[in-house]
Structure 1
Amino acid sequence: MTSMPYGSRVSLRTRRGFTAVAGVIAAALVLSGCSAEAPVEETPAPKDLTLTVGALVPESGALDKFGPAVSAAIALAAQDVNDANAKLTVNVESADSGDSTGTTAEDAVTELLAARATVIIGGLSNGISKKVIDKITEAGVVEISPANDSPDFSNYGDNNLYWRTSPSCALEGTALGNEMAERIGEGSIAILSEDTLCEPLLPRALSEAFLRGGGELLSQEMIDESAIDLDEQIDRAIAAKPDAVAIVGSKRSEKIAKAFIAAGYSGDQLFFTGLSLGERGSGFAAGSLTGSIVTHPGLDVSTISDFTDRLLEINPSLKDFSYAAESYDAVILASLAALASQKISGEALSSKLQEVSGGSGDGEVATTFADAAKIVLDGRTVDYDGVSGPITLNDNGDPQGAIIGIYQYGSDNVYTRIN
């Protein structure tokens, strides 16, 4: 979704022609005794706009536990927009995305397009979005995912219509690399990464961030998803004698970590992505994970209790708030883009999404829709910082102000968030 800057070039002939004409006009004005005044442009009054938001939310399948919070967040965002009296009305149409199996997601998109949705919030999984992105964007409709993390979407051929409020997994690599650099300094590391987890961008970002901190990369092993025996890769990494190891993956993390522990590595020398061992490292000897560092995208839900309390007013049975903040912000951004463009079309929204998120221009920061809308309607540029973070969308539609949580295991092999 990269946009290239275009410089303006005026030919010498054009400039000369313009100068000559300007001279004649100026002379005529002098002879007639008139003075030239710049025309005053009046800002047109904002239109009354109606934006239809399609909610592509899992109500069935493997992801259905996330559906209620996402639905509540979209409903809350629509309520906040409508209550702001900003000459914009948001209507929400919902359809079950299911999971990435079957055709539930494709059928849901057909339903939402028939309802004339201009923007679709979803899907939650990379697999769902890969199934429906072409259908959505080829219809000229914007897709904003609150959960996709695959790097494949950053440079996808989407006609600038795909965006997301969740970060690319490459950002998690940068966060872990920076954390390792801070803790290890000019020491050395090994990286073992599964090829299905954001390969190659996450491990590359991790190594680049660590190297910028002055450290050294001694070994990097990529683990094939179908590999049964990892002993050769693990032995090579241990033989390199790194000061610490980054374990990028999920399925093989426990096996790799136990091998390094058996080789004499302590918990504070082990670094993981994605909470791959779970909240409890129950398969490990007591204390063996003490000090281990883990990264996981997303804000600390305990810091947004005002927001989650409002969600509970909509759905009192909510227990999991995953992707709710990102879904809320997706609707707010689409609404601000509609106000800024004064049009309701996918192309119009897409032309303003980066700007209203603070990714371009020098906007005034606002943290609520009402405040942000006032800035836009006054003819100024807004920089919306949302519940999920600063957002700051780049040319590829990826948030650069996303939050990556840092967790640490204690002596009980249970993690807690430390940043």
Structure 2
Amino acid sequence: MPSKKALSLTAMAAALALGLTACGSDGGGGGGEGDPLQFGYIFPETGDLSFLGPPQITAARYALQEINDAGGVLGQELPEVLTGDEAGDAAQAGDAADRLIGQDVDAVLGAAASGMTMAIIDRITDAEVVQCSGSNTAPNLSTYDDGGYYFRTAPSDLLQGPVLAETIVGDGHQDVAIAYRADDYGEGLGNATAEALEASGASVVAQESYDPNGTNFDAVVQAISNAEPDAVVLVSFEEGVQVMTGLIESGIGADQMYSADGMNDETLAEKVDPNDLGTVSGFKGTAPGVDNPEFEEGITEFDPELEVFQYAPQVYDCAIAIALAAESAGSTDPAVFVEDMTAITSGDQECSGFAECRDLLADGQTIDYQGASGPLDFDENGDVSVASIMIYGYDDEGAHSALDFVQTTP
């Protein structure tokens, strides 16, 4: 039964016809069949999620350097990655996508935020350009009609929600309130967490949405406080700091609060109370994350100034997987190598890193790429089938640390 990742016969025929007749053009959004593989990215260089930009941008460049150090893709060095800023703004993200498509990219890394991907996915996939995000987690992206061109190396919130719920219940909480931003990310993770909490025997005493673009969050703070929960989940980005400080003022302690990847910020303590960093003591959350010291050592050597690694392994895996798919297909045409994206994560020979996997392909082997973020095993929706979730927390001095790592599957 064909999946949403399978190209239709019509699309395949059109791609073949273009490949035969375009004289230097391919069936996808990139350059000619013999042209070097061209990457572009759309990451948050400014805006609410700008703290996610540096690790993702560095990871993309780190992966491309590794590929070029190994001789490039199909014997051709990759050109410098083309850039785009999603900036937390759908219109600006759309302009960035249009610009990259106009520059004949073969693959787009990003966007970082699920909402920004929803704003640009049609532009990218309709142009038959492969898109891979290392940080999109909204569940509705699994079944989105993307023509087979969208993949992600971050797990769906349907996997993260149960880990967050288990953490809350494991800490002894039973009456939980959820405040979530009214967008794809907030609704997806908020609902997944609520369902998992109730399945664990806890009660969801309030589930309140708020406008993430608002400037006053008193209403959601009051509604949560009135529900008298013993724990609160904040499915938030940077605006969650205002919600959190309001809840603290209402008498709810940081050690009763939990969040996810959107608030996994090493500078959170300074933002909540720069005069008392211990205010955030006991605050916990979950985020896709892996315990991979070797990768962190390598990317730190590449960029000694990088201090935060959130989603860096996942973005690196997007780039390496795309490069290996092109090697496997013998083509830098996205309409051709997209067919090998799943295959390079489900073959017979396990391998890691571009050079090792590329050499196995050259020897006629099928490969099972083991990523820096773990085994990918792309499914028919372009989702990873195995996920590693980090549980993070803050101590009495406001210092952030990883408390545990949990492996989870659907």
The answer as to 2:155 corresponding to 1:164 is: no
CA distance in 1, matches of 2:77, 2:317: 14
Candidates 186, 199, 207, aligned match of 2:194: 207
Q: 1:383 to 1:213 in 2, by over 3 A?
A: farther
- The answer to whether the 8 A contact 1:366-1:384 is kept is yes
3-state DSSP class of the match of 1:163? strand
Bigger shift: 233-242 or 151-160? 233-242
Candidates 282, 290, 296, aligned match of 2:287: 296
Counterpart of 2:376, as a letter, is I
**2:177 matched to which residue of 1?**
190
- The answer to whether the 8 A contact 2:4-2:380 is kept is no
3-state DSSP class of the match of 1:245? strand
Counterpart of 1:77, as a letter, is E
CA distance in 1, matches of 2:43, 2:190: 30
The answer as to 2:48 corresponding to 1:75 is: no
- Kindly provide the CA deviation profile for residues 205-249 of structure 1, in whole angstroms up to 9, marking residues without a partner as x: 112222333323222222234667655544444444433221222
Structure with higher Rg: it is 1
**2:229 matched to which residue of 1?**
242
CA distance in 1, matches of 2:369, 2:125: 24
Give TM-score scaled by structure 2 length.
0.72
**1:109 matched to which residue of 2?**
101
The answer as to 2:3 corresponding to 1:3 is: yes
Q: Shift of residue 204 of structure 1?
A: 1.1
- The answer to whether the 8 A contact 2:54-2:306 is kept is no
The answer as to 2:322 corresponding to 1:334 is: yes
Q: Shift of residue 107 of structure 1?
A: 2.0
Percent identity, aligned pairs only, is 23
The answer as to 2:246 corresponding to 1:281 is: no
- The answer to whether the 8 A contact 1:376-1:382 is kept is yes
Q: 1:261 to 1:57 in 2, by over 3 A?
A: closer
Unaligned runs of 5+ in 2: 7-32, 405-410
Candidates 333, 337, 352, aligned match of 1:345: 333
**1:45 matched to which residue of 2?**
none
Q: Shift of residue 192 of structure 1?
A: 1.7
- The answer to whether the 8 A contact 1:165-1:398 is kept is yes
Give TM-score scaled by structure 1 length.
0.71
**2:377 matched to which residue of 1?**
392
Candidates 252, 259, 266, aligned match of 1:272: 259
CA distance in 2, matches of 1:233, 1:128: 24
**2:299 matched to which residue of 1?**
308
Unaligned runs of 5+ in 1: 7-47
3-state DSSP class of the match of 2:81? strand
Bigger shift: 273-282 or 404-413? 273-282
CA distance in 2, matches of 1:227, 1:131: 20
Counterpart of 2:3, as a letter, is S
3-state DSSP class of the match of 1:354? coil
3-state DSSP class of the match of 1:399? coil
CA distance in 1, matches of 2:5, 2:109: 29
- The answer to whether the 8 A contact 1:357-1:382 is kept is yes
**2:82 matched to which residue of 1?**
95
Counterpart of 1:405, as a letter, is M
**1:37 matched to which residue of 2?**
none
**2:204 matched to which residue of 1?**
217
Counterpart of 2:199, as a letter, is R
CA distance in 1, matches of 2:113, 2:284: 25
3-state DSSP class of the match of 2:374? coil
- The answer to whether the 8 A contact 2:264-2:287 is kept is no
- The answer to whether the 8 A contact 2:67-2:355 is kept is no
Q: 1:320 to 1:110 in 2, by over 3 A?
A: farther
The RMSD of aligned alpha carbons is 3.9
3-state DSSP class of the match of 1:82? coil
CA distance in 2, matches of 1:383, 1:151: 25
3-state DSSP class of the match of 1:217? strand
Bigger shift: 222-231 or 264-273? 222-231
Q: Shift of residue 161 of structure 1?
A: 0.7
Counterpart of 1:247, as a letter, is L
CA distance in 2, matches of 1:325, 1:51: 24
CA distance in 2, matches of 1:323, 1:390: 15
Q: 1:267 to 1:131 in 2, by over 3 A?
A: closer
Write the mapping of 1:358-377 to structure 2, written as runs, cut at 5 A. 358=346, 363-377=348-362
- Kindly provide the CA deviation profile for residues 287-324 of structure 1, in whole angstroms up to 9, marking residues without a partner as x: 44332212234446755234215524xxx666665654
Matched residue pairs, number?
A: 364
Bigger shift: 334-343 or 251-260? 251-260
Q: Shift of residue 158 of structure 1?
A: 1.9
Q: 1:325 to 1:90 in 2, by over 3 A?
A: farther
Q: Shift of residue 82 of structure 1?
A: 2.2
